[in-house]
Structure formats: C-alpha cells, structure tokens
Chains A and B, each alone.
Chain A
Amino acid sequence: MGNRERVMETLTREQIFYDVRHLLDELKGDWDYEDEITHDTRLFADLGFESIDAVALAAAIEEHYQRHLPFAEYLADLVQQEVPDITVDDIVSFTFAHLGAPCTMEGVQR
C-alpha cells in the first residue's frame, strides 16, 4: 500500500471536516457565534470573517496537519475570481485534495 492510499484510509473528508469544525468550535465563542458549524457554514457571511481570518484559519489547518498547504494560491484564485464566500466544505475539499499526497498521520494533533 502506498503512502497516498494509507492516508486516504486514515484521513477521510469527514475526518478533515471534524478537525476543521473542531478548530472553529474552539474559536467561535470569542466571536459570539452560537450556531452549529456545518459543511455549509459560510466563512464571511455567517462567521463574519475578513480575508485575514481565512488566512489565519488556513494557518491553523496547516499547523494541525503539520504541513504547508497551497492555501495562498487557492485564496488568491478565489479573490481574483470574485468568489463572494467560502464554505467550510470548500476548505475541507481543498484540504482533502492536498493531503492526499504522501503524508502520514504522524505529527497530526489529536
């Protein structure tokens, strides 16, 4: 079994969603946001993010998985294409796509 298959076996989309939701759950009390974080939660419209908050969330995800991910390219593309908002699921999909590369669960914070 290759590295990629090993990760796909252990790091599923749902696991990434769980991790991202956990990161947001830890912080949302400081923003007085009381609703549940779901796949469809919008970072800007629902959570009140500014662009720098999306960058900070990206950094938190990188820290969690102990890997640099090309969020800068992703977010710059979204800005350029005037995408009005990003959902939690968009972030999960992006992370899943990139953590499918050789990466073991070693170092991932639990």
Chain B
Amino acid sequence: MLIGIDGATFDILDPLMDQGIMPVLQGMIDGGVRAQLDSVVPPLTPPAWVTLMTGRSPGHHGVLDFFTPSAPGSRHLRTLTSHHVTAEYLWQIASRAGCTVTALNYPYMTPPRPLNGYSLSGWIPWRHLRRGSYPAELFDEIKGLLGFGAHDMGMDLKIEAKCIDGCDPAEYLDWIDLHLRRERNWMDTLRYLRQKDPTDFIAVLFDGTDKLQHLCWRHVDPAYAASLSPADQQIHKRSLELYRQLDGFIAEIIAMAGPSATVVIASDHGFGPTVETFYLNAWLHAHGYLAWAENPPTDEAGEGRIGLEALSRLSFMLDWSRTTAHAVTSSSNGIRIRVRREPGDGGIAPEEYDGFRARLADELLGWEDPATGTPVVTRVWRREEIFDGPHLAEAPDLTLRLRDYGFASILNSDRLVRPRPYVMGTHRPDGVFVACGPGLRRGHRVEGSLSLLDVAPLLLYALDIPVPADLERPVPAQLFEPAWLEQHPVKVGAPTEPVRPLQSAARSTEDLEGEQEVLERLRALGYVE
C-alpha cells in the first residue's frame, strides 16, 4: 500500500500528533520507520511525484516542471501528459511481474497506460477526468455506483489558482470543504475498488494537504496560532478536519491491507511559510538581461502574484531581440539563457555561454534586498549540477532557491521584492516518509534522510518483485531488520521497459499556410483584429 500525501511535512504533522489529532499516524510511526524524505530540486509536485512513481530522476523520466517547451527551443509552453513520461511507473513494473494493481489520483496517468488492474488519473481537468480511467469503463462504474461528482475529483484551474494567488477571506471555508469532499471521493473510489477486486498493490494520493497548506499555512502552523483572529480561528478548526479525516483514511487503509502488508506513506516535498514575492523577470530587466514587450503583465496591485495566468502569454511578454535571459515559469524558479542559433538572431554567442551563465549566477547571489540589506537568492544551481539523463537539455540553465523557498514571480513589478499581504505556504525540500510492515524495523527513526528515489525499489521489494537494474537507488536496506533481509534477499531484475514518446507532426510550408488560413478565417469572423 502506498499512501501519497501531497506536501506533507513533519513540521505540521508532529504538532497534530502531539495534540491527538492524528493518532493512527502516530501509531504507525511507533510501530514502524520514520524518515525525512528528500525531494528533487526544485521541490515541485510534478517532477517529485513522477520520481517516486518511476524510481528515476527528472532528467531521466522527463517531467521537470508543470510545463515544458512545446518543441526544442520553443518559447511556447505546453502541459504534460503521460506521453511525456519516458519511464515506466512502478505499478506498470508490478503489473509486468504478475501483480494486480490499483493506482488512484497520481499525476500524468492520462492517457492511461495498460495495467493488470485499475487506474484513475489525478491532475486532470474535471471535464476530462473520464479520459484518465483505466479500464475505460471504470469511470462509469464509479460514477454510477457512487454518484460522485467529477467536478469534485478533477482539477479546476480557477480553484487551484486560489491556493497560490490567494482568495477572498469569505471563500476559505467553502474552499476547505471542497478539498474535504475531494479526498472523500477518492477514498470512496478506493473503497469501491477494494471491495470489487482487491489488488496486490494499491497506490492512492491525497492532495488536499498541499492545497490547504499553500493558502492556509498561517492557520495550520502553530507558530502563527497566537496571531489568529476569531475568523481565522474558524478556518483553523476547519483546516484540522482535513488532517483528522486523513488520519481516518490511513486507519482504514491499514485495516484493508491487513497485517501481512507493507504500508508506506510518502510526500512529494515538504512545506513552510513564504512571506514575500521576488519578481525574477523584473530583476532580470533591471539588470539588463531582459527587455519587456509593450504592456507586460504587471502585479499592479502588489498582491504578490506569481503570474500563473500569464504563462500562456509568456512568449508575447518579452522583446526577444533584446532578451538574453528570462524566467520560464512561476513554478520552476528557473532561468533560461537565450543562445544564438543563427547569425543575426538574438541571444548570446554560444562561446559566451559558460562565462555569461557564471556571471549571472554570481550577480543573483550577490544581490541584496534594499529593504533588508540581505541576499534574496540563496542558492543557484547550474543545469548539470541537478539534472542528468536524456532530458538534461530541457532543464532551465539556472535554478534558484530563494531565502523563503517561495516561487518567483514572472510578472513585471516596480519593486523587485515585495512582502506578501499575509503569510502563505510554499514547498520545502524535506518531505515525510513513514512505513510499517513485515521485516521493517519498529520505532525506528532514520538518521539523515531518504530520497524519493528510494520509495519505488522499497515497494517492489515488499511485493517480492526483482528491482529493475536501472532504478537509480537500491532498496534502502537500513529500514529492515537484518535477519529479515538475510531470509529475504533483494533480487535485482532486468531493466525497465523503454517508453516511447509521441512523435512531433512535421510542419511543412503548406501546414503553416493552413494555420494562416485558420487565423484569416477567425479574422473574417471578427474574432481577430
């Protein structure tokens, strides 16, 4: 059993266990293993979960951000699907080994990959949730039997954006209720499938914690308890319901699993407070690296918006002929450097790249916030320091860590750093790992930390499946009793099966003329000026 809890952090879970709000989790820790789980760099949901789901790092599985360039070198971004993941999911590996599997609410499972069991994808717009169902008829079964609402289970971008950009205080309680309902719908789905056809391996993801902690960090972090208004207290109480409900689900899943099963809880990253917004593209503009096009999107109200809504306009926000470096997305904290491809193009000359990149990194690290006199950028990684594998070239040239671990804004702003109107939550590298089951040590706290890459080999070992030789980490043997390991030696098997990405449709001259025809027709209809 794998229970994913998006964004779970011991900074919140420990106080909740101390208060008796999560007794089942406490019991699981007492009878099993607990560790800090190191995320990927940057600690971002898509690459982190896919790392756990594949046992491969982002440069190998191909998911580096929420978005990816639509083609090599393109200024346009596109969202990802399972076609972008160039590694097998651990439930595929388990399927090939003859296990039956159920995988619910994990990202990038649309279109579904064939399995010896069931899957329903998370992270898909609710209107398209049906397309994430495997087998296809599963969706109607669940819909008919449970009467669930697709809207409550799938993604609604307007609602998702609120957890990053904030919302009206009057909306908080309804917003929390939606996530309580969403988690219940996924648990209902698991319950139904368990009753219908109990599979050997179950993986379910609950993502309400991440959303809640983004918007309501100050309502759940005990450090802010004394500063909560009566209205905030109400939000605090409702927020705790999410964790209480989750603890109940953990109890039910442990009971479903039975004493002979291994149960693993893992989060994709940790969490902590963010108190300010750093406007990275505005910084690059102020330092001569970036030129805005006319009327760039600006955080005029100074609300600390990071620019989620501006992503589709990214390619039009900049004067590319005078831009040498720009922030790609508001999620990756990454910078792309424009390297000239053809004589006469914009960007820097290829031979200048190393020196240019080093100077930019130094300048970022050396820059101090005028308000505090302290650096805002605390770490800069070169691409090859944190990524390797076939997708290396798709990664940003530089990736930044900010002093409050926040997401940088891609918007224009007259100030380069601005305090947030109120404390929100943001990702941290240290996630959680808890496991119990046969052979696992009891009451054991791991010295140091585990990696997301450790989870897939651990689960395959627990299922008695040979661990594919190309997974990047071995089974974390230190979690098991030595006698158990001796009786149950780790088996290493053949490498994972290759996953073929979709091909690009070639664009001929005639194709481009066809696109022009579409635009001309839209003009004729009055849609395009």
The complex places the Cα of A26 from the Cα of B111 at a distance, in Å, of 14
The complex places the Cα of A49 from the Cα of B126 at a distance, in Å, of 11
Residues A76 and B313 in contact in the complex (CB < 8 Å), given A56-B124, A59-B79: yes
Measured CB to CB, the nearest residue on chain A to B513 is A97
B312's partner among A27, A53, A75, A93 (CB-CB below 8 A) is A75
- Once A and B bind, how many residue pairs between them come within 8 Å at the CB atom? 138
The complex places the Cα of A27 from the Cα of B140 at a distance, in Å, of 11
Per-residue interface assignment for chain A, residues 47 to 84, with 1 indicating a CB less than 8 Å from any chain B CB and 0 otherwise: 01111110111011011011111111111111111111
* B503 partner residues in chain A, CB cutoff 8 A: 66-68
Most interface-central of B504, B505, B514 (chain A CB within 10 A): B505
**Contact in complex: A97, B127 (CB < 8 Å):** no
Measured CB to CB, the nearest residue on chain A to B149 is A30
Residues A94 and B127 in contact in the complex (CB < 8 Å), given A4-B508, A72-B77, A84-B527: no
**Contact in complex: B522, A50 (CB < 8 Å):** no
Closest beta carbon of chain B to A90's beta carbon, Å: 6
B506's partner among A31, A82, A90, A102 (CB-CB below 8 A) is A102
Q: Give the bracket for the number of chain A residues in contact with chain B.
A: 35 or more
A103 interface residue per 8 A CB criterion: yes
Measured CB to CB, the nearest residue on chain B to A23 is B131
Stretch at the interface among B150-158, B319-327, B366-374: B150-158
* B70 partner residues in chain A, CB cutoff 8 A: 68, 70-73
**Contact in complex: B519, A27 (CB < 8 Å):** no
Q: Give the bracket for the number of chain B residues in contact with chain A.
A: 35 or more
A99 interface residue per 8 A CB criterion: yes
* B78 partner residues in chain A, CB cutoff 8 A: 55, 71-72
Most interface-central of B70, B83, B143, B517 (chain A CB within 10 A): B70
* A101 partner residues in chain B, CB cutoff 8 A: 505-508, 511
**Contact in complex: B312, A51 (CB < 8 Å):** yes
**Contact in complex: B505, A49 (CB < 8 Å):** no
Measured CB to CB, the nearest residue on chain A to B514 is A97
Closest beta carbon of chain A to B409's beta carbon, Å: 19
**Contact in complex: B129, A100 (CB < 8 Å):** no
Residues A26 and B502 in contact in the complex (CB < 8 Å), given A93-B514, A93-B521, A101-B508: no
Measured CB to CB, the nearest residue on chain B to A65 is B505
A18 interface residue per 8 A CB criterion: no
A85 interface residue per 8 A CB criterion: yes
The complex places the Cα of A5 from the Cα of B156 at a distance, in Å, of 41
**Contact in complex: A85, B79 (CB < 8 Å):** no
Per-residue interface assignment for chain B, residues 137 to 181, with 1 indicating a CB less than 8 Å from any chain A CB and 0 otherwise: 000000100000010000111100000000000000000000000
Per-residue interface assignment for chain A, residues 25 to 55, with 1 indicating a CB less than 8 Å from any chain B CB and 0 otherwise: 0110011000000000000000011111101
**Contact in complex: B505, A69 (CB < 8 Å):** yes
* B127 partner residues in chain A, CB cutoff 8 A: 27, 30-31, 48-49, 53, 56
* B77 partner residues in chain A, CB cutoff 8 A: 72
The complex places the Cα of A76 from the Cα of B77 at a distance, in Å, of 9
Closest beta carbon of chain B to A43's beta carbon, Å: 10
* B314 partner residues in chain A, CB cutoff 8 A: 76
A-B pairs, 5 with minimum CB distance:
A97-B514, A72-B70, A72-B78, A101-B506, A67-B505
List 15 A-B residue pairs with CB atoms under 8 Å apart, sorted by A's residue number: A30-B129, A30-B130, A31-B127, A50-B125, A50-B157, A52-B157, A56-B125, A56-B131, A62-B83, A68-B71, A68-B505, A76-B314, A93-B518, A99-B505, A101-B505
Residues of B within 8 A of A (CB): 70-71, 74, 76-79, 81, 83, 110-111, 124-125, 127-131, 143, 150, 155-158, 312-316, 502-508, 510-511, 513-515, 517-519, 521-522, 527-529
Residues of A within 8 A of B (CB): 4, 26-27, 30-31, 48-53, 55-57, 59-60, 62-63, 65-85, 90, 93-94, 96-103
Since A59-B81, A66-B503 are in contact, a sample of 18 more A-B pairs with Cβ atoms closer than 8 Å, ordered by chain A residue number, is: A4-B508, A27-B127, A27-B130, A27-B131, A52-B125, A59-B110, A62-B83, A63-B502, A68-B503, A76-B76, A76-B315, A81-B527, A83-B527, A83-B528, A97-B513, A97-B517, A97-B518, A100-B510
